[in-house]
Structure 1
Amino acid sequence: MISTIEEYIRLCDSDCRSDNRRTIVEELSHDVVSTILNHYPERLVWLAHNKRLPLEVLEILSNNETEDIRFTVAMTRRCNRKIFENLLLDKSESIRLILVRNKKL
């Protein structure tokens, strides 16, 4: 588990692919997720790639103003009905198209 924001940032900024991968596959503490959501908007794209994010966080990210973040959420296999319905009405055609190609949906 990645338990501190300092560790998360170090892993994201590392030149080592295995460090970067940890930010995607390892669980993040509630404090790390909360800190990113509230204080590090530039890290939201990285956060959206994490495969263990709670659905509540994916729902928040699906409403983000940044298209890249919404696109990443639309590609995740963990979308629930609320996220799906939200993104189905997205203003971006590319997000609606990638959502339709999501194998889980």
Structure 2
Amino acid sequence: MIESADEFVRLRTSEDPAEYRRAANEPAAEAIWREVIDRFPQMRFWVAQNKTVPLSILEVLRRDPDERVRSMVRAKRSWARAHPQDSSRLGDPE
């Protein structure tokens, strides 16, 4: 489990493939994801890419100003299951 925002950034920017995979696959508490979003805006795409990120965090990232982040959210299966009406995978409704 990822224990802090700083740990997530360290894992994500590591050159060690095992650490990089941890950033993509390990869960973190919702408060940690929120801290990453607030303190490290350049990491929002990578938060959205994490396979365990909760829907509540995806809800925040779906409104991100960066199209890459919004697109990553729309590409997640968990998002599509929760928001089938968000058929904007080919474009952004907002």
**TM-score bracket relative to the smaller structure:** 0.7 to 0.9
What is the one-letter code of the residue matched to 1:16? D
Structure 1 segments, 4+ long, off by >3 Å, are: 84-87
| SS of structure 2 residue aligned to 1:31 | helix
The alpha carbon displacement at 1:29 in A equals: 2.1
* 2:23 aligned with 1:23: yes
* 2:50 aligned with 1:50: yes
The alpha carbon displacement at 1:85 in A equals: 3.5
What is the one-letter code of the residue matched to 1:53? V
Q: TM-score, normalised by structure 1?
A: 0.75
Give the match for residue 103 of structure 1. none
Q: Distance in 1 between matches of 2:17 and 2:37?
A: 24
| SS of structure 2 residue aligned to 1:85 | coil
> How large is the RMSD of aligned CA atoms in angstroms?
1.7
User: 1:44-82: per-residue Cα shift (whole Å, max 9, x none)?
Assistant: 01101111111111111111110111111111111112x
* 2:46 aligned with 1:11: no
* 2:90 aligned with 1:96: yes
Q: Report how many aligned residue pairs link the two structures.
A: 89
* 2:66 aligned with 1:66: yes
The alpha carbon displacement at 1:86 in A equals: 4.5
Give the match for residue 2 of structure 2. 2
Q: Return 5+ residue gaps in structure 2 as ranges.
A: none
Rate the CA distance shift 1:69–1:55 in 2: closer, same or farther, 3 A: same
| SS of structure 2 residue aligned to 1:34 | helix
Rate the CA distance shift 1:23–1:54 in 2: closer, same or farther, 3 A: same
Q: Return 5+ residue gaps in structure 1 as ranges.
A: 89-94, 98-105
Q: TM-score, normalised by structure 2?
A: 0.82
